Chains A and B, each alone.
Chain A
Amino acid sequence: MTREEIESREDESMMDAPQMNNPKPEEFFNVNYLRIYYGKSNLFPYSDIHKWLSYGHDGKHPGCDEYYFGRREFSFTLENDVYLRYKSFKNASSMEDAIKSHFPYKIDIGAVYSVDPDKRHAYSQTGTNVFTPVERELVFDIDITDYDDVRYCCSGADVCSKCWPLMTVAIKVIHTSLTEDFGFKHILWVFSGRRGVHCWVCDPKARRMTNEQRSAVAEYFRVYKGNENNARKVALMGYSLHPFLARSYVDYLKGFFEGELQATQSIFSTKDKYEKILAMISDEDIQSELRGKWENSARSSLSEEAISLVRWEQLKNTLQSKKHKAPTLRMCVEEIVFTFTYPRIDLEVSKQMNHLLKAPFCVHPKTGRVCVPIDPNNCDDFDPLAVPTLSQLIEEINSGGSRMDVDDDDDSDTSLLGKSIKFFRSSFLEPLLKSCKEEIESSYKTKIGKSKDSLSW
């Protein structure tokens, strides 16, 4: 974009926007809308993002590191897939200026490095001043395309109300574990804009985890080990489930499988579908027995869903009586449930500190939807198809109902994005910043105390 173009854009007043009124319904995203989204400062929440990623260091306390925000890597993906890495910003306004001059299609957030990423070449790679990540949130990425082998309503990039609940269950299982097992407190879940969710764990302890520790947590969550070469992709060995898996099964997975999943996916209703499940039973005789029952069952007037439920009961009963035949049958029922419902995270995203992840409140270029936060305690209510799109936001501006450009708790903000911003602030940002402030103050006191002690006799 040339300088003249930038300047002419900025000259456009809000009232020129009606020329872009009446977008075609399918045109949820276009470059002009994007420029308005980032251009008007009461849509994309620049200062909230800055406050978040400063973790309290933008304050005035002597323990604050004023250069902390500047050592964070950002990356921009521009139109035509031009990719700009190692971008860093001194403060909120230089971040805002950069975004407003590039209008990136995607903004990614990387790690906080030992030195300003922009200046990394000034430092040699050996010795003490190495350019290396020092802090990074513990992140997770769950994408519904990883479940394509177990969802029948959609495949690939599509998502609908029938398969989205897989994401809901994934959030519940992972969130419970992050809080109950690992003791993390500051967790942000974000819609990825099209077909998945991201999770940002922001506790100080999490941000300082090494790659090895991140890998350990990712592996702790890993159950599904699939590729085209094996039919039994979940293998639960031993005589019982690990307490984490047991809790997930009892509290979330079993109920979801026998209820909502059966209703929406009817996983036993056709031969193709039930053969896939029979292949998970590692005993030929049991497979034949069940196949016999189902192949020849009369064309009843039962719905697909009802047929599926009946067959599930038959399978459970058969396995219950035969499970002592072999160790691989012991938890076959649970394995089937886990295969269909247990979260499938992208391990590579979580394992390395330098992995970049899309920023919250970006707009997805394919759907035009904003990457809004999801409340893990109310995730059943989240509908990916009701998330505000760019064109809806622009239309809202045109009809004069835009978000208030304020930081207060005024409940009169009923704009499309207002609710999300409010949630971000009250449920995530405020508690996080409160705890950051306490941490900065106490570690400063400790440091001062230590140096005082060294002077004392």
Chain B
Amino acid sequence: MEVIRSQKRTPSNDTVSNPKIPLYLTAPQMEVRLEEFELFAIDRLRVLKGVSDGLARGRNPKEMDDLVDTLWKEHMRDPDASVMLNKDIISHFVLRLVYCRSDELKKWFLSMETALFRHRFRLQNFEAQRAIVGEFGLPYKAVTGAELEGLKERLGQVVRSLGQISPTVEAVYYKVPFEEVPDLVASRRVLIQKGFAFVAGSQLVSLVVTQFRSHISKALILTNRKWTTTIREREKDRLTPIVEALSTSYLGPDYSQSTEYAEISLKDIDQVAKSSFPLCMRHLFEKVREDHHLKHGGRMQLGLFLKGVGLKLDDALAFWRAEFTKKVGSERFDKEYAYSIRHNYGKEGKRTDYTPYACQKIILSAPGAGDHHGCPYRHFSEDNLRAALGRMGLSSRGMEGVMDQVRNKHYQLACTMTFEAVYGTSCDAGINHPNQYFEESQKILKSKTPPAPV
């Protein structure tokens, strides 16, 4: 795959004609524009994150099929089928570069791509599925004639054992070494004899998914080797920064420009904190009021959040000053703290307008002694978390659901469940940014209060 800068798009002449789902067996021989390199990857990443979210919510296979269909149409579709196919292939290979670089990244990518493949496969008709099996070059022969006759009775037993009262022994069965279909063996969904499993046509998905997974797993190892030995260095001014940013990218709005919903003023801030802040920010806010101080991590996390909710620089300075001067005095405040608040708003130094932290970043932070930042669902002890949730008004039943998510390390889902419990409404998109929590909360609260009379 060659990445070029030119505006002209070179048509790919290596499009695989038949299968609707490419198998990513070999790297494509085509030219890619630099912008597409990143954009295609981001779109695919949205799909994979959607898959991840669906699995974490325990969606059943049929629901996952529908979810994948929706996600794919939303992010990867193009009126031109060959363009769509190219995007599919290119984005996959770019993400291989991104996700080959550590065991954790590899594991996530492998799981999501395998799940994506599984559900896309399930959505295909039988002929298309057969074609894909063929593409894998699997040497499995269909069982026919006398051999099939001899197995018919037991094949029928298998079908009946799976809940079908009148066994429709399918027309086509494949004789496959049992090692190739571990999930069918584990759930006793196939007849096994002398080391071979007899896989029905309708069970092909198991077969191909195992192959797919195994292939991608090996490919990731090779890609990692190539990355660390050649590509990373060679591309350090061009592709490497893009690749490195992609794995940690947060894909939602960045809340650096506050919206009309979100302007708050200093006099409202306590009330708004109580009604609309997510737990992480409530905690930091309470601590500022209580201790009249916050360490650096907390100042960054809360400060940028407040910027995102629409607190103007002057109001921000007034807020922090009012609290900090109770402890450190006005002179020290001006000397040590005011500068960094202005810095956060882009008024100092290199004048970068810093963006408020997304959940991903907050969860990964490492609060130490005396710190209050981070994600309470991750960083609080169970007792402290329960107490804090209690103060937010959660019932003990609501709390159990949240604690369950916490135990399974689904911190954002825990926060989402808290949101849903507090506002009595569902949040299907899931919380992935504190400012998103705030905005959604404000939307709900404003829709409940009648507009003030003019």
Q: Could you tell me which A residues sit within 8 Å of B by CB distance?
A: 180-184, 205, 209-210, 212-213, 215-217, 219-220, 237-246
Contact = CB atoms under 8 A, between A and B. Distances in A.
16 contacts: A181-B193, A183-B193, A183-B194, A183-B196, A205-B179, A215-B186, A216-B185, A219-B185, A220-B185, A237-B161, A237-B163, A239-B161, A240-B157, A240-B161, A242-B161, A244-B188
Contacts of B178: 182, 216
Nearest to A243: B154
B435 to A, nearest CB: 38
B158 A239 contact: no
Contacts, number: 66
Contacts of B182: 212-213, 215-216
Nearest to B156: A240
B235 interface: no
B163 A213 contact: no
Which 5 pairs of residues, A with B, have the shortest CB-CB distance? Answer: A183-B195, A216-B182, A219-B186, A240-B160, A183-B194
A219 B188 CA distance: 8
Given A181-B192, A182-B195, A217 B161 contact: no
B162 interface: yes
Given A213-B182, A216-B186, A239 B193 contact: no
B195 A241 contact: no
Contacts of A219: 185-187
Contacts of B192: 181-182, 220, 244
B188 A220 contact: yes
A180 B194 contact: yes
Nearest to A220: B185
B454 interface: no
- Which interface residue of B183, B195, B196 has the most chain A CB atoms within 10 A? B195
Nearest to A239: B160
A242 B157 contact: yes
B257 to A, nearest CB: 42
Contacts of B187: 219
Interface of B: 154, 157-158, 160-165, 178-179, 182-183, 185-188, 191-196
Given A216-B185, A244-B192, 10 more contacts: A180-B194, A181-B192, A182-B195, A209-B179, A212-B182, A216-B178, A217-B185, A239-B160, A239-B165, A246-B157
A355 B165 CA distance: 41
A207 to B, nearest CB: 12
A450 B17 CA distance: 34
B157 A213 contact: no
Nearest to B163: A238
Contacts of A241: 157, 161
- Which interface residue of A182, A217, A243, A245 has the most chain B CB atoms within 10 A? A243
A181 B262 CA distance: 66
B274 to A, nearest CB: 41
A411 B192 CA distance: 41
- Which interface residue of A184, A205, A242, A244 has the most chain B CB atoms within 10 A? A242
A123 to B, nearest CB: 16
Contacts of A243: 154, 157-158, 191
A180 B194 CA distance: 5
Contacts of B195: 182-184, 205
A220 B187 CA distance: 6
A205 B180 CA distance: 13
Given A180-B194, A246-B157, A238 B162 contact: yes
B164 A239 contact: yes
A244 B194 CA distance: 12
B158 A242 contact: yes
Contacts of B193: 180-181, 183
A216 B194 contact: no
Contacts of A212: 182
Nearest to B184: A216
B150 to A, nearest CB: 13
Contacts of A181: 192-194
Contacts of B165: 239
A244 B185 CA distance: 11
Contacts of A217: 185-186
A241 B191 CA distance: 12
Contacts of B194: 180-183
A213 B179 CA distance: 6
Contacts of A216: 178, 182-183, 185-186
A209 B177 CA distance: 12
Given A181-B193, A239-B163, A220 B157 contact: no
A215 B185 CA distance: 10
Contacts of B185: 216-217, 219-220
Contacts of A244: 188, 192
Contacts of A242: 157-158, 161, 188
Nearest to A218: B186
A243 B191 CA distance: 7
B163 A220 contact: no
Contacts of A213: 179, 182
A184 B178 CA distance: 12
- Which interface residue of A182, A210, A219, A245 has the most chain B CB atoms within 10 A? A182
B33 to A, nearest CB: 34
Nearest to A222: B186
A244 B192 CA distance: 8
Nearest to B151: A243
A134 B427 CA distance: 47
A220 B181 CA distance: 12
